[in-house]
Amino acid sequence: MKKHEDQREKWEFIGHRLMESSDLQMLCGVTRKTAGAEKPFVACLHDHELKGMITFVLERMREIDKRAESAAARVREIPYEYRDRQQEYLRLQVPKGESYRSSELYNADFINDLDEGFNTLQGVFVTLTRALSYLFEELGYRHGIIDASFMQALHRNYPEYAGIIGGLMGEKPNVESTGAHRDAIKLTLTADQFAELLSCLEVFFDPADRAALKTLLQGQTVSQKLVFNGNQNQLVEVFRRLSYNGLLHESWTSLREWLFGHFAYRSKTGVANLSKNSVWDILSKAKGEPAGRSRICSFDWLPYSTQAGLRKSGL
């Protein structure tokens, strides 16, 4: 037993050293799913090396959060839209220092330079989360189910990241059943419009969720939340646009409850519930809605209007 433990610790140590000297883009930028790519580097590694790399990433994430928490003393108040994401807001307050900028470990192209937080510790955190996802994916590819004792150790040693780890492992958020007490919505669309809307939206959902998505849009309910693989504001803005174009007749409150009750989204750190506060701000005030290039489902019959334009037209 002692010999086995010593060997495991040795391989995990090697995993740590591999990560310390890594170009993260070269290490994690190519997966087994990348079309035409050679077998990725991590496919040649021992399981314990991969596990060591995972714990190394989690240690770096913890270091980042400790630095971010040092900014808390300078923050007088967490903005309303970050009330459900306080740690993220703290990371956004700390610029990415030279030690992070100069290291290839923290500068993979896993976050766009136009994304929120690119030049802050939040950008570094997102990059590490992407690497963590890749390492879990490789272990899952090998074994289907990752060793339970290893997962228990991660939850025990890194409890603050249990939600992130669960999201990366594909766990659905714990939510109550979307039973009949939540009203269905009724879209007033032609058959062609419905088909076009469904075709646009379904590419943002896993194939297993697409039949349920169609059911929801047809005015029925489903028993589980569907995971939108994009930013929550993109999804919400589509329904806001349907509403002010007269194709959906629900109050903002009812629509918020319907969206919250039937959808989750894949955030930068895993699967998460929609934020009721953010959904309300987008629906009622257009606050936080996506910019033009990020809007989805742009059809001639579903035009976009600014909040000022809506006020002017009396909507």
**Per-residue pLDDT tens over the stretch 8-52:** 555 556 655 666 555 555 565 555 655 555 667 777 777 888 888
Average pLDDT over residues 215-238: 90
For residue 198, count CB atoms less than 10 angstroms from its CB and return exposed for 0-12, middle for 13-18, buried for 19 or more: middle
For residue 15, count CB atoms less than 10 angstroms from its CB and return exposed for 0-12, middle for 13-18, buried for 19 or more: buried
Tokens (6 digits) for 146: 């990752």
The answer, yes or no, to whether residue 225 has pLDDT greater than 60, is: yes
The two counts, helices (H) then strands (E), for the chain are 14, 3
How far, in Å, CA of 82 to CA of 214, rounded? 32
Average pLDDT over residues 49-60: 86
Mean pLDDT over each residue of the chain, to the nearest integer: 78
More confident residue, 202 or 39: 202
What pLDDT score was predicted for residue 1?
41
For residue 209, count CB atoms less than 10 angstroms from its CB and return exposed for 0-12, middle for 13-18, buried for 19 or more: buried
Average pLDDT over residues 279-298: 90
Q: What is the pLDDT of residues 269-283, one digit of tens each?
A: 788 889 888 898 899
Other C-beta atoms lying within 10 Å of the C-beta of residue 5: 9
DSSP calls for 139-187: HHHHHSS--HHHHHHHHHH-GGGHHHHHHHTTPPP------TTSPP--B
The confidence band for 147, taking pLDDT boundaries of 50, 70 and 90, is: confident
What is each CA distance from 22 to 34, 104, 105, 136, 176, in whole angstroms? 20, 7, 6, 17, 42
Instruction: Name the least confident of 57-61, 81-85, 229-233, 266-270.
Output: 81-85
